[in-house]
Amino acid sequence: MTPTSLAQHKAKHLLSHVLVAAGARRWPEVVLGESGETPTGFYADFGLARPPSDEELAAVTDEMARLLANGQCVRSLTLAPPAARTLFARQPWKAQQVEVLAECQESVNCFEMDGFYDLCDCILTQPRELLAVHPETFTLTHVSLVAWVHRGKEHWFHRVFGELFPAPVPCGCCR
């Protein structure tokens, strides 16, 4: 992996976390789903009753920019599985991920971003990484409906997509 593609992966990964945190601020009672990278950007799932409006997406974008500007507001946490279960008890998708992680390891890696907690067992280990992502280097582009099936029941989410700007060459490793 070249230094440029590594930087793009870090930016996409970090932006997916920032999108989740900003969306959770915008919709405080929302059920959160999956988040991650796409070949040219990032996404996050929100259990909303209706798709977010353009105005709501603009507000989420503004909150993302605020979180990026305050990159020092992030800290890594390592929790015992019981503490992680308690922290994510109201988030079914996250709670399922905690159970999977608890089966494989003795602790669960998380982060706290300006009062918001999320799972992350990967590269979000240094708050300064957020400072490398400029608030003008991304845009939220569109929303689609996705389903998550858990214990035989479908849960519907609105997946919010974002793209890096200027658009990177699409990678082949992200779905």
d(CA 4, CA 1): 8
Amino acid at 38: T
What are the structural domains of the chain? 3-164 (3.30.980.10)
Model confidence over 124-162: pLDDT tens digits? 556 567 667 777 889 999 999 999 887 788 889 999 999
d(CA 151, CA 129): 37
Model confidence over 87-101: pLDDT tens digits? 999 998 899 999 999
Preceding amide of 92 cis, omega within 30: no
d(CA 124, CA 62): 21
Q: Do residues 44 and 23 make contact, with C-beta atoms less than 8 angstroms apart?
A: yes
